[in-house]
Structure 1
Amino acid sequence: MSTASTHILCASLTFAWPDGTGVFDDFQLSVGPGRTGLIGLNGCGKSTLLKLVAGELTPAEGSIRTMGEVGYLPQNLVLDTGLRVDEVLGIAGTRAALHAIEAGDPSVEHFTAVGDDWDVEERALATLDQLGLGHIGLDRTIGEVSGGEGVLLRLAALLLARPDVLLLDEPTNNLDLYARRRLYDAVASWSGVLVVVSHDRELLELVDQIADLRDGGVRWYGGNFTAYEEALAVEQEAAERMVRVAEADVQRQKRELAETHVKLARRKKFGQKAQDEKRVPKIVANGLKRKAQVSAGRLRTEHTEKLAEARGRLDEAAEAVRDDDEIRIELPYTTVHPGRGVLRLKELTLRYGTEVKGEFEVRGPERIALVGRNGAGKTTLLRTIAGELAPVSGEAETQVPHRFLPQRLDVLDDELSVAANVARFAPDATDNRIRAQLARFLFRGARADQPAGTLSGGERFRATLAALLLSEPAPKLLMLDEPTNNLDMASVRRLTAALDAYEGALIVASHDVPFLESIGITRWLLLDDGGLRDIDVADVREGRLPVNTPM
């Protein structure tokens, strides 16, 4: 990649957190034009890298150069609820000056503030409309819009600013399906340089190249995520084949070394016998003995070196094979038999006004997807079922032991270790049993003693899931609120494997349709102004939902 086409250049980058935890060491990165999907395991440094490029963090060593203006959308966006929409968009000053001129104030400072941007309001409203926010006026406050709309507003501000480089960190988190589609459209039409960190497969299908951050370096793959998976599969098949070839070579070198030892032992035995029987003069025998020792030493060294080289090739081949661990769980006490009552809702009115009219039941090991617009009340409903919120009226009765995995993952005590956190939920379990179970969630040995506050997003999710599933009594109803937020692809696969092994009833609130389909959902429920109702998965997938409920 030529320097002229490079828009982000990281050279010899080194960065560590204040506690000494290293993230990058002599890291190199060069990003050129186009849309780049940055992927990698949780904790590998994707978000940290974007913050470094955006200038929010400073490297200990090395340099970061960017060509042009940089726009950055962080993963966890916090906006002041008192801000007006035009302030979030960054046009409040220009707009105020424009209004003052229109009102007849000819002050120079107003014209200076406007510059050439006389159509700022029209452009802002057009951008809002492009993102599905045309109903939001420029004078509204952030406190009047949903969290998903706040994310889109921040994206609108970046689009209006027209940066040369756009950095997006998990931009679809907390966005409903309707908002996601708007964001997909904005990404697809972006003509500048874009780097997006995401676990959202549909979003990653829109990129031009994939940058896989792994083991402190980046590997590049041309094309979208599907092309990446295909290339990786071919790469891994070749790597596994090389391992088999290298293993066969090691075995062959071992056999040849063993045969050499046998051959040398026989030669020594025959030489000693000839000397004992005085078939050759002593001086000749000693000369032959010295020659044989030199020859034997050379032969042993040669075969030992070949064996060491073969083992080195095997180690090198094995390093190319990815062996990411998967979660393994066995929960014998979570089975819910068909027909068993699990949950009953009756004439339920939730806080903030959402209603579930009539009677609603969950029976047996149903797997339910709860979908709906941002602000429809999905989280409120789950928290009410979990007993964290009291309903305004009506009943929410759980008939089996249950657990709730909140979106914010605030179940853990940051000051306690992973093992100690699990012990809080299973006070009668022995330390050995807790650690044996935690090993199935990839917390082995000293990792189980790691404070929860030091965990990465994916690690924290695994620890929280372990604490809930290993709790006593074992949950027969598990409720998850946006569980794939902040998870990398490998962690989503692990979550899918864990839920495949779970035999209880499941209610999952999510906007991630591919994930929902991967965990065997048996019933799709839509929560909107009309209450709670069954819908067909094809309606969710294709967007054919009831009027007034765009997804």
Structure 2
Amino acid sequence: MAQPYLALSDVTFSWPDGDPVFDGLDAVFGSGTTGLVGLNGAGKSTLLRLIAGELTPDRGSVTVHGSLAYLRQDLALDPHRRVDAILGIESARKALHRIESGAGTDEDFAVAAGHWDIEERAVATLDRLGLAHIAPSTDALGRTVGTLSGGETMLLGLTAALLGEPQVLLLDEPTNNLDLSAKSRLYAAVGQFPGTAVVVSHDREMLERMDSIAELRRGEVRMFGGNFSAYRAVVDAEQEAARAAVRDARSDVRKQGRELVEAQTKIARRVRYGKKMEGSVPRILAGERKRQAQVSAGKLRGSHIDKLEEARQTLTEAEEMIRDDREIRIDLPDTAVHPGQQVIELEDITLACGPTVSLTVSGPERIALVGRNGIGKTTLLRAIADASPRVPWRSLPQRLDIFDGDRTVAQNVADAAPHATPEQIRARLARFLFRGDAADTQASALSGGEQLRAALAMILLAEPAPRLLMLDEPTNNLDLPSLAHLTSALAEFRGALVVASHDLPFLREIGVTRWLELTEEGLHEVDPR
């Protein structure tokens, strides 16, 4: 059988309002795993939807060689649906059961053909992805899913996709909301996939496991061999060369500009000298000298103007090679917490989800709060807030429900910083990429990534300035450039941090000083290695 692959040829697509996304896009994804990266809004999810057939290109073609499964980023499951219905095996199970009871029809045998072990495979796949508690036996496949966490929903969706034994797999941000254990299982499942997998992700650990990286930038896809580190090495080397080219080009522009001024000065001197000599030579000879001087001056001026224009064009081309990725720029206020200063004190607080915890934070400590999904990390952050920390504090909730959806971004930030002028609010929001009319966008109309930036702006620009930040999964929906800048900004923050996250590279880069795992027994110091 031929190897599965994806091919896009001359794909052009615009939204109904005329907003263009792709114009003549070409790309080929061969067998193996490919991480698809790009800025928020670059069109990664749209590209997957075009490949999956959910969207139709205005022009061009999409070729999928092999059966396809697509797992959306915004996957939501009805809690009243049965597990087997979500897995897509309900009709096959019913047919098998009728056959086993002796009441099977020809239609049942047709439905069951090739699926005689579907129940066992379903239970085994659920177990492999850490979902054995949902259906620990074949009998339990008929139960409803109840209220699953976001991470469990994603893993159940992946189970459904893998049960169909697809040859092409599309995953859109599959590690969002997964705890460390679930991430490990998903990494293994994707790594063992035998066909063509395209994975949209900002998860660097996932991207490090890819066979190749595809970057979607300015409406074009560029392929890079190797994992994320190899991709970054190539991009960094190219950017260093581009910056050197810009420096050289700017130097040449300055040089050509000086030479043009010198040439113009020389021409002006000749003109003045010619006027002085007009009375000392015959008129015919003076006229000929004047004509020759004008021709010479024109050639000299034209030569230098051409060189200057050529230098400017070279500079423009060199500057276009410099990545102008929009990044959030955060100037955190001076919020130092002195060593020994008590920030948080919790003693034997029983969380609603079960564990009893005690926690003391002193000085500018950086606490990483880890633990499986559903154990109560978000509940613990709320308990800290309810216990009234001893310094000004702000919290970034995972659901980003801290602003009024009926008010604009600027109005929401102004509510948090009532003493700032409208001009100051807009200047600060520009650093979070809400420039001009974007600051007047209604909060309820923001995308996921925009909501996160707006929430960050609210908590970091608030009055009084926070000296304790509590962040609940802050890296969800951040593109890689913004993630890098947030990491750098938090690394410079001199207050106390309590961060619940499953993003180990992020936690390590912000300089965590204590790692705490929340379990059913309480909080425990852990070694992240």
With normalisation by structure 2, the TM-score equals 0.93
What corresponds to 1:46 in structure 2?
44
Q: How does 1:465-476 map to 2 (within 5 A)?
A: 465-476=456-467
Q: CA deviation at 1:408?
A: 1.9
Q: Identity rate of aligned residues, in percent? A: 56
Q: Any stretches of 5+ residues in structure 2 without a counterpart?
A: 136-140
What corresponds to 2:366 in structure 1?
367
> Does the 8 Å CA contact 2:175/2:183 hold for their aligned counterparts?
yes
Matched residues, number? 522
CA–CA distance in structure 2, aligned partners of residues 163 and 95 of structure 1: 20
C-alpha change, 1:71 and 1:6, in structure 2 (3 Å) is: closer
Q: CA deviation at 1:154?
A: 1.0
What corresponds to 1:268 in structure 2?
271
Q: How does 1:242-281 map to 2 (within 5 A)?
A: 242-278=245-281, 281=282
Q: How does 1:477-516 map to 2 (within 5 A)?
A: 477-516=468-507
> Does the 8 Å CA contact 1:406/1:481 hold for their aligned counterparts?
yes
Deviations for 1:432-491, whole angstroms, at most 9, x for unmatched residues? 232233233343444333333444433322221111121122222211111111111111
With 472-481 and 71-80 compared, the bigger mean Cα shift is at: 472-481
Q: How does 1:341-380 map to 2 (within 5 A)?
A: 341-351=342-352, 353-357=353-357, 359-380=358-379
What corresponds to 2:423 in structure 1?
432
What corresponds to 1:549 in structure 2?
none
What corresponds to 2:223 in structure 1?
220
Quick one: which amino acid aligns to residue 219 of structure 1?
R
> Does the 8 Å CA contact 1:86/1:139 hold for their aligned counterparts?
yes
With 59-68 and 469-478 compared, the bigger mean Cα shift is at: 59-68
What corresponds to 1:441 in structure 2?
432
> Does the 8 Å CA contact 1:481/1:509 hold for their aligned counterparts?
yes
Q: Any stretches of 5+ residues in structure 1 without a counterpart?
A: 388-395, 539-551
Q: CA deviation at 1:292?
A: 2.3
What corresponds to 2:112 in structure 1?
114
C-alpha change, 1:103 and 1:4, in structure 2 (3 Å) is: closer
What corresponds to 2:138 in structure 1?
none
C-alpha change, 1:293 and 1:521, in structure 2 (3 Å) is: same
Deviations for 1:88-143, whole angstroms, at most 9, x for unmatched residues? 21111101111111111131121111022212122222322322333432233221
What corresponds to 2:207 in structure 1?
204
CA–CA distance in structure 2, aligned partners of residues 302 and 415 of structure 1: 61
Q: How does 1:16-415 map to 2 (within 5 A)?
A: 16=15, 18=17, 21-137=19-135, 138-143=141-146, 145-278=148-281, 281-324=282-325, 325-332=327-334, 334-351=335-352, 353-357=353-357, 359-387=358-386, 396-415=387-406
SS in 2 for 1:370: strand
Quick one: which amino acid aligns to residue 232 of structure 1?
V
With normalisation by structure 1, the TM-score equals 0.89
Quick one: which amino acid aligns to residue 206 of structure 1?
R
> Does the 8 Å CA contact 1:345/1:397 hold for their aligned counterparts?
no
Q: CA deviation at 1:327?
A: 1.5
CA–CA distance in structure 2, aligned partners of residues 58 and 414 of structure 1: 32
> Does the 8 Å CA contact 1:68/1:164 hold for their aligned counterparts?
yes
Quick one: which amino acid aligns to residue 520 of structure 2?
D
CA–CA distance in structure 1, aligned partners of residues 211 and 202 of structure 2: 16
RMSD: 2.2
CA–CA distance in structure 2, aligned partners of residues 413 and 261 of structure 1: 62
CA–CA distance in structure 1, aligned partners of residues 114 and 63 of structure 2: 29
> Does the 8 Å CA contact 1:72/1:166 hold for their aligned counterparts?
yes
Q: CA deviation at 1:313?
A: 0.6
CA–CA distance in structure 2, aligned partners of residues 187 and 464 of structure 1: 32
CA–CA distance in structure 1, aligned partners of residues 520 and 207 of structure 2: 32
SS in 2 for 1:7: strand
SS in 2 for 1:129: helix
> Does the 8 Å CA contact 2:11/2:22 hold for their aligned counterparts?
no
CA–CA distance in structure 1, aligned partners of residues 527 and 29 of structure 2: 42
C-alpha change, 1:445 and 1:145, in structure 2 (3 Å) is: closer
Deviations for 1:126-176, whole angstroms, at most 9, x for unmatched residues? 322322333432233221644322211111111111223211111011111
CA–CA distance in structure 2, aligned partners of residues 177 and 4 of structure 1: 33
> Does the 8 Å CA contact 1:15/1:61 hold for their aligned counterparts?
no
C-alpha change, 1:17 and 1:511, in structure 2 (3 Å) is: farther
Q: CA deviation at 1:4?
A: 9.3
C-alpha change, 1:397 and 1:448, in structure 2 (3 Å) is: closer
> Does the 8 Å CA contact 1:16/1:60 hold for their aligned counterparts?
no
Quick one: which amino acid aligns to residue 102 of structure 2?
G
CA–CA distance in structure 2, aligned partners of residues 235 and 298 of structure 1: 39
> Does the 8 Å CA contact 2:8/2:25 hold for their aligned counterparts?
no
> Does the 8 Å CA contact 1:335/1:476 hold for their aligned counterparts?
yes
Quick one: which amino acid aligns to residue 106 of structure 1?
G
CA–CA distance in structure 2, aligned partners of residues 285 and 13 of structure 1: 66
> Does the 8 Å CA contact 1:75/1:171 hold for their aligned counterparts?
yes
> Does the 8 Å CA contact 2:71/2:157 hold for their aligned counterparts?
yes
Quick one: which amino acid aligns to residue 98 of structure 2?
A
CA–CA distance in structure 1, aligned partners of residues 447 and 302 of structure 2: 48
Q: CA deviation at 1:65?
A: 3.2
CA–CA distance in structure 1, aligned partners of residues 45 and 385 of structure 2: 32
With 426-435 and 39-48 compared, the bigger mean Cα shift is at: 426-435
Q: CA deviation at 1:374?
A: 0.9
> Does the 8 Å CA contact 1:416/1:451 hold for their aligned counterparts?
yes
SS in 2 for 1:143: coil
SS in 1 for 2:55: coil
